[in-house]
A and B are shown apart, each in its own frame.
Chain A
Amino acid sequence: MPTKLIINCETGEQTEVELTDEEVAQREADAAAYAAQKAEQEAAATAKAAAKASAQAKLAALGLSAEEIAAL
């Protein structure tokens, strides 16, 4: 069973305590929530990059140079 480390700042005592079943379940839920959040963020970043590339291609098709597009 994984442990957690607790440092009492008043006494300086450091204790290592095994996680409870409830805490392990919470870690699993947190990890699942983070995975979903990360996937959402990555999808948003991918969509934004694709939109940027599409916009740059359209500007280039209108005759703007790469330097002009970069200056926008």
Chain B
Amino acid sequence: MANTFTLISSVTVGSGGTASITFSAIPQTYTDLKIVLSARLSANGDTFGNTKISFNGIPAGTVYSAKNIRGDGSAVASNNFTSQDSIPNNYSAVGSTSTASTFNNTEIYIPNYTSTSAAKSLSIDNVTENNATEAWATLYAGLWNPASQGAITSIVLTSNYSASELYAQYTTAYLYGIKNS
């Protein structure tokens, strides 16, 4: 059980929106990382969107894999992803047609991020908000397994549902470092 959570950095998106959020120069002094993301996407024309997650730069090759399970208020489904250029994390963000001023909750947990010899696993817990039947709950288990292992020094969060969408104003992202997990 972790006994310390230290806020490393946080950001609130401004009025112009942004295509991606990058945490760079991540300190190597913790054992685990946790990102808490509250996001809404502009101009994507759907109730949901995505937040792709990649480490140490984009693109980083097709070295990511993941499995998800999700529900949308009327059905459940799961998907398997192999040879990806990022963790897809689909159905995770609130889209532009969801109830105005609502945002999703996403928690991304990355243990052992400083290892220079092991692949990096991560788990993701997403829920979207919408005052209608269709809202999404999605869980992911993912792996980053490049040919040459390295510590995670930067994390990029970006959406790829449509090329024109942006993270909307007031989207927030918090990066925590955890010791003694």
Which residues on A are within 8 Å of B, measured CB to CB?
2-12, 14, 16, 19, 23-24, 26-28, 30-31, 33-34, 37-38, 41, 45, 49
Contact = CB atoms under 8 A, between A and B. Distances in A.
Interface in B148-181: 158, 160-163, 166, 175
B19 A12 contact: no
Contacts of B5: none
Contact of B11 (A14, A31, A34): A14
B138 interface: no
Contacts of B58: 26
Most A Cβ at <10 Å: residue of B13, B58, B163 = B163
Given A7-B11, A9-B8, A26-B59, A31 B24 contact: no
B98 interface: no
B163 A31 contact: yes
Nearest to A4: B20
**Which of under 10, 10 to 19, 20 to 34, or 35 or more describes the interface residues of B?**
20 to 34
Given A3-B19, A4-B19, A41-B79, 14 more contacts: A2-B17, A2-B18, A4-B18, A4-B20, A5-B11, A7-B21, A9-B27, A10-B27, A14-B11, A27-B158, A27-B163, A30-B160, A31-B160, A34-B88
A4 B77 contact: no
A3 B16 CA distance: 9
B25 A8 contact: yes
Contacts of A30: 52, 160, 163
Most A Cβ at <10 Å: residue of B17, B25, B52, B160 = B160
30 contacts: A2-B17, A2-B18, A2-B19, A4-B20, A4-B22, A4-B158, A5-B18, A7-B9, A7-B22, A8-B24, A9-B23, A9-B27, A9-B175, A10-B27, A11-B25, A14-B11, A16-B18, A23-B19, A26-B59, A27-B160, A27-B163, A30-B163, A34-B50, A34-B88, A34-B90, A38-B90, A41-B77, A41-B79, A45-B77, A49-B75
A21 B41 CA distance: 21
B141 interface: no
